[in-house]
């Protein structure tokens, strides 16, 4: 990685994580500078979500270091971890909206429960954030189950940015959406990140999305970053893994784990 640890908002070194005998992350190094939009690409099951969950503290790695603003976070005690969480926002792949709460309560959840804000101002903030992602106040009292997939994604995006976090993680933000809705979500991510100046880490295998939202792209394969560079350079990376991935070829150094039926 080119950035030094001191300059990096997020600095990951030698990260290892296994599930049983399967080693998912194998000494991974990654940096993300403050205000940068970094997209991690890679095939399904290569550990992209595991990487983000390790940084967020939802999974504990076996080895390695994760520094946020230069502070080691892997073995943080619970109270310090809860404080650190206030720097983060997360858009989950399946939106992960709370079924039992209305749309505005979902968006305001982090403000009310996480930061102790009163419900009235939190509701006003939630409505403003919903407007920012193109949703009107008429849906604010609906339950998530009453919304389409695209609307759920937008509500989840509003929730992720509601508390104006310093770092937002986007896990497969466009998966399962039609191309037009995917582009709407991409535009919203770019707008939110640029307007607030947030550091963004996205994981996706949607290259259209990656090209649109990334300042820099890193490719994950077999538990390590095999290439990273500015978005504009991805087409001339000269890296056989990246070339195979962006051209969607079955032949190449990336061998999919396919078991004969």
Partner 1 sequence: MLRFLAAIGAVLLGFLSATGRLVLFAGAALATAFTPPYYFRMILREMVNIGYFSLPVVGLTAIFTGMVLALQSHTGFSRFAAEGAVATVVVLSVTRELGPVITGLMVAGRVGAAMAAEIGTMRVTDQIDALTSLSTDPLRYLVLPRLLAGLITLPILVLIADIIGVFGGYLVGVYRLGFNPEAYINRTHQYLETMDVVSGLIKAAVFGFIVALMGCYHGYYSRGGAQGVGQATTYAVVSASVLILVFNYLITAAFFGR
Contact positions vs partner 1 (CB under 8 A): 53, 56-58, 78, 82-83, 85-86, 88-90, 92-94, 96-100, 109-110, 113-116, 159
Closest CA to 28 of 49, 45, 11, 14: 14
Judged by beta carbon, residue 90 or residue 177, the one nearer partner 1 is 90
Contact 43, 256 (CB under 8 A): yes
Q: For residues 116-125, b (16+ Cβ closer than 10 Å) or e, as one string?
A: ebeeeebbeb
Q: CB of residue 156 vs partner 1: minimum separation in angstroms? A: 9
Judged by beta carbon, residue 92 or residue 241, the one nearer partner 1 is 92
Helix intervals (H) in 57-98: 78-85
Q: CB of residue 202 vs partner 1: minimum separation in angstroms? A: 15
Q: CB of residue 2 vs partner 1: minimum separation in angstroms? A: 29
Judged by beta carbon, residue 87 or residue 224, the one nearer partner 1 is 87
Q: CB of residue 173 vs partner 1: minimum separation in angstroms? A: 14
Q: CB of residue 46 vs partner 1: minimum separation in angstroms? A: 19
Q: CB of residue 201 vs partner 1: minimum separation in angstroms? A: 13
Q: CB of residue 66 vs partner 1: minimum separation in angstroms? A: 15
Q: Residue 158 has which token pair? A: 């509003």
Q: Residue 138 has which token pair? A: 């008429």
Backbone angles phi, psi at 216, to 5 degrees: -140, 145
Judged by beta carbon, residue 168 or residue 246, the one nearer partner 1 is 168
Judged by beta carbon, residue 83 or residue 249, the one nearer partner 1 is 83
Judged by beta carbon, residue 2 or residue 113, the one nearer partner 1 is 113
Q: How is 213-260 classified by DSSP, letter by letter?
A: H-SEEEEEETTEEEEEEEGGGGGG---HHHHHHHHT-SSSS-------
Judged by beta carbon, residue 176 or residue 230, the one nearer partner 1 is 176
CA 148-153-155 angle, 5° bins: 95
Contact 69, 80 (CB under 8 A): no
Determine the longest span between alpha carbons in the chain, in angstroms: 58
């Amino acid at each position: 990685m080119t950035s030094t640890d001191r300059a990096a908002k997020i600095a990951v070194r030698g990260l290892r994580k296994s599930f049983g005998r399967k080693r998912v992350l194998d000494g991974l190094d990654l940096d993300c500078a403050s205000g940068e939009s970094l997209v991690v690409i890679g095939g399904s099951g290569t550990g992209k979500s595991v990487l983000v969950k390790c940084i967020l503290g939802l999974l504990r790695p076996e080895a390695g270091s994760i520094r946020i603003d230069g502070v080691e976070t892997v073995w943080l005690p619970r109270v310090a971890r809860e404080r650190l969480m206030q720097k983060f926002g997360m858009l989950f792949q399946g939106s992960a909206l709370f079924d039992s709460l209305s749309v505005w309560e979902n968006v305001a959840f982090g403000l009310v429960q996480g930061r102790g804000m009163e419900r009235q101002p939190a509701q006003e903030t939630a409505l403003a954030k919903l407007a920012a992602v193109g949703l009107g106040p008429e849906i604010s009292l609906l339950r998530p189950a009453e919304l389409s997939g695209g609307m759920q994604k937008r509500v989840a995006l509003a929730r992720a940015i509601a508390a104006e976090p310093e770092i937002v993680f986007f896990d497969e933000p466009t998966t399962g959406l039609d191309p037009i809705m995917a582009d709407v979500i991409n535009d919203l991510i770019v707008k939110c990140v640029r307007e607030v100046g947030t550091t963004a880490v996205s994981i996706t295998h949607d290259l259209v999305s990656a090209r649109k939202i990334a300042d820099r792209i890193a490719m994950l394969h077999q538990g390590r970053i095999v290439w990273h560079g500015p978005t504009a350079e991805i087409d001339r990376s000269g890296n056989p893994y990246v070339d195979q991935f962006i051209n969607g070829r079955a032949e190449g150094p990336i061998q999919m784990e396919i078991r004969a039926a």
